[in-house]
């Protein structure tokens, strides 16, 4: 479904659907049906009652607006939801209506419904991360020999390869994906605790019913109810924050490389993508922009979620009630960043000629470090540093190449061979371990991807 206008650049269509009113309502209905079935399996409620509840839930037409109207007065949406559903069940089977929501509390419904939504969102985010990883691995291989300026503090620095840059993006995304998988695995558990987290109303059947409920919903079964212990969800929120930060860093790099003055990369274009309402020539980096806007939102959302984790005793007043909109926005922003950067990477244009041109535009000044390394063994580091300071000032002032300037300095020519100066500004000769780092990053990512695919 399409997102609301106010959320239209804050989520994807698929994730908007996951957190839509109909989806939330469906998740709450699934909980109530699964609870009745689990309790019938254990023998706490009649099987006929569970069957009747399930039949009504399948055909009941509940208007989400009827629930939202009463949510503020009730304190949460579950109370009016259960009342409306019970009325539907009563109209079909009055005896079964008495067994609806048996032994559960409102937070059991809301927490488990949220977990069911997170389970759907997990697969969507994972698919886009996989797309992104494949695209970045391909880019890295294609441009393993593409030299470009390194940039430190926004200034030109010794060369790197675009293949290493892409592999470094990939490494961060892959590490974040691994953390996120673990966080989802921990968080996708059922919630059932009843009034005070003891399931006293279910006698000595509480554990059995919880496990049966988890089986019905295909969720994990916790060791105990977690009403005011939000550490698993908080960990998930933090992992989303780290992943989105890594995607935002990638987006920041691409927006800078795509600047008109730089023009080393360009995002994919197409009808309606990246245009301007006033400047027809524009090809705006909209995918990176979406990832950056998501990263800006998510950091605050993570903080808000962590603030809500300080919850009192066995049921919080204001803590868990704050989480639904925070987590929904957080997950959608994370998913948007992943989907946006996957699309960017799959269609990214890389201008290797422009990269080399921008490197050459420095007239060799970025190789001053290399020249100092050549001179230091015989001249001493401090003296070599002073010589290079003078030489680079002349490079800037005279518009000449560093090697040319150095070749006219007797204190230099007496220390190094002419051939060393000729090779000074060849970027391929000053890449150090760039290729080893790149291949190692790709190798680790490939290993983790294979391990991920083998998991059930």
Catalytic residues, by residue number, are: 276, 315
Helices (H) and strands (E) in the chain, counts: 19, 4
Contacts of 81 (CB under 8 A, 6+ apart): 25, 28, 62, 67, 109
State the helix-helix crossing angle for 106-142 and 162-187, rounded to 10 degrees. 160
d(CA 26, CA 147): 53
Q: Let me know the angle formed at the C-alpha of 453 by 452 and 456, rounded to the nearest 5 degrees.
A: 90
Q: Is the dihedral of CA 195, 201, 207, 213 positive or negative?
A: negative
Look up residue 12 and give its DSSP letter: -
Residues whose CB falls within 8 Å of the CB of residue 295, separated by 6 or more in sequence, listed in order = 244, 245, 247, 248, 251, 337
Residue 98 near residue 304, CB atoms below 8 Å: no
The helix or strand, by DSSP H or E, that contains position 158, with its residue range, turns out to be strand 155-161
Q: CA-CA distance, 337 to 226, in Å (whole number)?
A: 30
- Any idea what the Cα angle at residue 104 is, between residues 60 and 217, rounded to 5°? 65
Residue 192 neighbours by CB distance under 10 Å: 29
Q: Is the dihedral of CA 212, 218, 221, 222 positive or negative?
A: negative
Is 246 in a helix, a strand, or coil?
Answer: helix
Q: Are 204 and 173 in contact (CB under 8 A)?
A: no
- CA separation for the pair 190, 206 (Å, rounded): 13
Contact 424, 364 (CB under 8 A): yes
Q: CA-CA distance, 52 to 298, in Å (whole number)?
A: 43
- Cα separation, 124 vs 202, in Å, equals 37
With CA atoms as reference, report the closest residue to 52 among 8, 93, 105, 13: 93
Neighbours of 260 (CB within 10 A): 8
What is the phi/psi pair of residue 146, to 5°?
Answer: -85, 110
């Amino acid at each position: 479904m399409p997102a609301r206008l106010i959320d239209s650049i804050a989520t994807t269509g698929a994730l908007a659907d996951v957190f839509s009113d109909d989806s939330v309502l469906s998740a709450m209905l699934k909980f109530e049906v699964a609870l009745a079935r689990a309790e019938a399996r254990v023998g706490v409620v009649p099987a006929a009652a569970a069957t009747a509840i399930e039949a009504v839930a399948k055909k009941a037409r509940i208007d989400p607006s009827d629930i939202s109207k009463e949510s503020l007065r009730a304190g949460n949406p579950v109370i009016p939801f259960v009342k409306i559903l019970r009325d539907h069940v009563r109209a079909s089977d009055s005896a079964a209506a008495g067994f609806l929501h048996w032994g559960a509390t409102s937070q059991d419904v809301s927490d488990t419904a949220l977990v069911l939504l997170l389970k759907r969102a997990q697969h969507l985010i994972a698919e886009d991360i996989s797309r992104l990883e494949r695209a970045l691995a391909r880019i890295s291989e294609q441009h393993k020999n593409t030299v470009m300026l390194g940039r430190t503090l926004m200034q030109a620095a010794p060369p790197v390869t675009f293949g290493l840059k892409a592999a470094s993006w990939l490494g961060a995304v892959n590490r974040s994906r691994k953390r996120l998988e673990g966080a989802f695995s921990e968080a996708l558990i059922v919630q059932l605790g009843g009034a005070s987290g003891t399931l006293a109303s279910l006698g000595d059947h509480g554990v059995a019913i919880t496990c049966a409920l988890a089986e019905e919903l295909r969720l994990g079964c916790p060791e105990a109810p977690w009403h005011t212990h939000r550490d698993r969800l908080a960990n998930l929120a933090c992992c989303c924050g780290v992943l989105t930060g890594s995607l935002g860093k990638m987006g920041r790099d691409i927006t800078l490389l795509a600047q008109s003055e730089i023009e080393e990369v360009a995002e994919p274009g197409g009808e309606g993508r990246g245009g301007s309402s006033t400047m027809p020539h524009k090809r705006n980096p909209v995918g990176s922009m979406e990832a950056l806007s998501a990263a800006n939102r998510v950091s605050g959302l993570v903080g808000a979620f962590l603030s809500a984790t300080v919850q009192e005793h066995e049921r919080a007043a204001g803590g868990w009630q704050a989480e639904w909109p925070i987590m929904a926005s957080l997950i959608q922003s994370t998913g948007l960043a992943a989907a946006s950067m996957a699309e960017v990477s799959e269609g990214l244009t890389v201008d290797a000629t422009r990269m080399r041109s921008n490197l050459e535009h420095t007239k060799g000044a970025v190789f001053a470090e290399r020249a100092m390394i050549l001179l230091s063994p015989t001249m001493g580091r401090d003296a070599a540093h002073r010589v290079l300071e003078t030489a680079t000032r002349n490079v800037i002032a005279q518009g000449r190449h560093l090697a040319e300037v150095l070749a006219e300095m007797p204190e230099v020519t007496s220390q190094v061979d002419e051939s060393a100066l000729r090779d000074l500004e060849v970027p391929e000769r000053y890449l150090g371990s760039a290729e080893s780092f790149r291949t190692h990053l790709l190798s680790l990512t490939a290993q983790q991807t294979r391990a991920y695919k083998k998991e059930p």
